[in-house]
Amino acid sequence: MNLMANILLNVIISFLVGSVLLGLQRKVMARIQMRPGPPIIQHLLHTFKFFLKESAFPKTAAMPFYIAITAMLCVIWVAAVIVGPVTEGSLLLFFAIYAIHKIVEHNAGSSSGSPYGKLSCVRAVFSAAAEVPLFAVLIIIYLKTGTMILSNIVTYQNQHGALLLSIPLAALMFFVLILSKSPYSPFAITKGKDIVSGYETEHFGLLRGYLMFSESIAWYMLLWIFLTVFIGGLNPVGYLIGMVVITAFVAFINALTPILNPNHSVMTQVTLAFIGIVGSVILLLY
Amino acid sequence: MDKLKAVSWFIFVISVASILYALIINPPNWIVYAISIVFIPLSILSFGLLSMARGKKEEEEDKRKEPFIGY
């Protein structure tokens, strides 16, 4: 297939599947909380709807940075699609993409000029300090498989079995990272309802739709990486089932857990990272 | 046509043309990656800037006011 067509197809699939999965998450959460909840396609419909809504740019916004930062989020997750499903490249690039995602959260908040955005911007730095150590999972994967290249990790798993079974604590660390990025998560301090919508508060209308587009791709990609790195060798149906199961599980956790305050959130993540790193090293040694 | 709309049209046309170029001509891989990373996001953003509804000129100033200046 033509490379550009392949990239476009993967971007469209990741957006559509990611949107529906985020809708599914809200639906599962609602049912657990004894509410009917919105339709599963609501996230997708909202994304399209926001593109047509009346938009105005706040006077306090730092233009053109206020708009450019939303494009940056899309750039990094389109890059993730290329590194992931299209080329099966290096996991290190995902680390870079995730780090930039945290910077985008920070700068989207600060560029808006809103106090809620600014508070979220400070929290993004807080949470980055906790989430980046969780990415030490990459070192453990490297120590176990001897490679950072996704296609080689899949080949390794075909020969030695799923990494989920051999380095379960590393999988747990990555799962916490996925959980941190899900809406209504106990670790979602950058979007805590105490600060309205956090760094997205002043990004409404078209820009909100644009952010939601990127977030759908981000959600799909995080699940895709988890399934590829820790189970490996799945066909499209396997990926879909895996993504639905993880999303439902995340929804279950989010429905039953309040959003932690920033200090507790960071300490919980750091503690889990510490347990994951030390435990995985011990498991690798024995 | 205001400045934002003119710039959006310009970016949208350039983005779509670049994507079509990569689809039809099949250039080297690094060019396709560069086009994808830059112009797919830009095409969506510029499309959004063109498709979004705009309020009345006289109401726009009120909507742009940030109620929390001074915090």
Q: What is the pLDDT of residues A168-194, one digit of tens each?
A: 888 988 998 899 888 888 888 877 777
Record: contact A52-B51, CB cut-off 8 A: yes
Q: Got the DSSP string for B8-27?
A: HHHHHHHHHHHHHHHHHH--
The answer on pLDDT for B19 being more than 90 is yes
Alpha-carbon gap: A105 to the closest alpha carbon of chain B (Å): 17
Record: contact A210-B44, CB cut-off 8 A: yes
ipTM score of the complex?
A: 0.86
Record: contact A4-B49, CB cut-off 8 A: no
The per-residue pLDDT for A20 is: 96
Q: Which of A3, A115, A206 sits opposite B48 (nearest CB)?
A: A206
Annotate chain A with three-state secondary structure. CCHHHHHHHHHHHHHHHHHHHHHHHHHHHHHHCCCCCCCCCHHHHHHHHHHHCECCCCCCCCCCHHHHHHHHHHHHHHHHHHHHHHCCCEHHHHHHHHHHHHHHHHHHHHHHCCHHHHHHHHHHHHHHHHHHHHCCHHHHHHHHHCCCEHHHHHHHHHHHCCHHHHCHHHHHHHHHHHHHHCCCCCCCHHHCHHHCCHHHCCCCCHHHHHHHHHHHHHHHHHHHHHHHHHCCCCCHHHHHHHHHHHHHHHHHHHHHCCCCCHHHHHHHHHHHHHHHHHHHHHHHHC
Record: contact B40-A113, CB cut-off 8 A: no
Residue A227: pLDDT band with limits 50, 70, 90: very high
Record: contact B66-A58, CB cut-off 8 A: yes
B38 in A contact zone (CB under 8 Å): yes
Tokens describing residue B19 = 């994507």
Q: Which of B36, B47, B68 sits opposite A4 (nearest CB)?
A: B36
Tally of structural domains, chain A: 1
CB pairs under 8 A between A and B: 89
Chain A neighbors of B36, CB-CB under 8 A:
4, 7-8, 11, 78, 82
Chain B neighbors of A53, CB-CB under 8 A:
52-53
Tokens describing residue B59 = 């109401």
Expressed as residue numbers, the domain containing B42 is: 3-53
Lowest-confidence segment of A30-34, A156-160, A203-207 by average pLDDT:
A203-207
Residue B63: pLDDT band with limits 50, 70, 90: low
Q: Which of A5, A59, A210 sits opposite B66 (nearest CB)?
A: A59
The answer on pLDDT for B17 being more than 70 is yes
Residue A224: pLDDT band with limits 50, 70, 90: very high
Model's pTM, two decimal places?
Answer: 0.92
The answer on pLDDT for B66 being more than 70 is no
Tally of structural domains, chain B: 1
Give the residue from chain B lying closest to A49, CA to CA: B52
Report the distance separating Cα A154 and Cα A140, nearest Å. Answer: 15
Nearest residue to A246 (alpha-carbon basis) of A188, A182, A192: A182
The answer on pLDDT for B68 being more than 80 is no
Expressed as residue numbers, the domain containing A275 is: 3-285
Q: What is the pLDDT of residues A64-113, one digit of tens each?
A: 888 898 999 999 999 999 999 999 888 888 888 888 888 888 888 788 77
The answer on pLDDT for A234 being more than 60 is yes
Q: What is the pLDDT of residues A115-172, one digit of tens each?
A: 787 888 888 888 877 777 777 788 888 988 989 999 999 999 999 989 898 888 889 8
Record: contact A56-B33, CB cut-off 8 A: no
Summary mean pLDDT of chain A = 88
Domain assignment present for B36: yes
Alpha-carbon gap: B66 to the closest alpha carbon of chain A (Å): 6
The per-residue pLDDT for B65 is: 64
Domain assignment present for B60: no
Distance spanning both ends of chain B, measured CA to CA: 36
Report the distance separating Cα A74 and Cα A94, nearest Å. Answer: 14
Alpha-carbon gap: A232 to the closest alpha carbon of chain B (Å): 25
Record: contact A3-B66, CB cut-off 8 A: no
Record: contact A57-B19, CB cut-off 8 A: no
Record: contact A11-B35, CB cut-off 8 A: no
